[in-house]
Amino acid sequence: MRVVFDIGGSVLVPDKPDIDFIKRIAYQLTKISEDHEVAVVVGGGKVARDYIKAAKTFTPNETFKDYIGIHITRANAMLLIAALGEKAYPFVVQDFRKAWEVMQVKKVPIMGGTHPGHTTDAVAALLAEYLQADLLVVVTNVDGVYDSDPKKNPDAKKLEKISTKELVEIAMQSESKAGGSGVVDALAAKFIERGKIKVYIIGKDDALNLFEVVKGKHSGTVVEP
């Protein structure tokens, strides 16, 4: 099976690097890659948002601020590369063809952001489409897709299974109003729908047992075409 893991920056680096979690993720990815083809995309999280917010003080240039975020995602990716050691390709992969080439020599390609205007969720969705992956696992700080924002609504209900079309609708609704419940952005959701990609959206607790997650055993949300 070919699997792309999309790991949120705020999961790896909430305020500072979560060393224990990174070790556990790295160990699992190493073991999973012995039986499956694995690629990873790492986000920027809170650190990237903090830098981008600070940059607004000095420049209105959105593309420039996007590049700041991209650099943070690649720093996070380098941290995971260090944790995986010899199993990982030793440099941050910056394009999909290179990711495919790395996988052919039984190494794990790890990416961060690529282009301004694309979140790492969008990068992961495009990578999964390019690689014709069997599965995209999105690890985020929310443990699935909800019918409303669980951080604001204590009665929000987790959706166990939705279609890719429904994911797009939820993501677009989230971006159009405050308090939305989307865990991936609308562009990423559209790429997922276009690529007919099967997705598991899980939280940090489920990520502690990725061995079971790739078998379909988790408490998150399943997204299917």
Beta strand 37-42 pairing with 135-139 = unpaired
10 belongs to an annotated ligand binding site? yes
Residue 118 annotated as lining a ligand binding site: yes
> Is 9 annotated as contributing to ligand binding?
yes
Q: Is 49 annotated as a binding residue?
A: yes
Find out whether 140 is annotated in a ligand binding site.
yes
* 149 annotated as a binding-site residue: yes
Q: Does 116 count as an annotated binding residue?
A: yes
**DSSP secondary structure string, 146-169?**
ESS-TTT-TT--EESEEEHHHHHH
Residue 146 marked as a ligand binder = yes
Is 120 labelled a binding residue?
Answer: yes
> Strand order in 135-139's β-sheet?
110-111, 37-42, 2-7, 135-139, 199-202, 221-224, 161-163
Nearest to 47 by CA among 55, 38, 39: 55
Q: Please check if 218 is assigned to a binding site.
A: no
Q: Packing angle between helix 96-104 and helix 120-131, nearest 10 degrees?
A: 50
Which contiguous run of DSSP H or E holds residue 222?
A: strand 221-224
Annotated binding site for UMP: 44, 66, 114-120
Annotated binding site for ATP: 9-10, 45, 49, 140-141, 146, 149
Annotated binding site: 9-10, 44-45, 49, 66, 114-120, 140-141, 146, 149
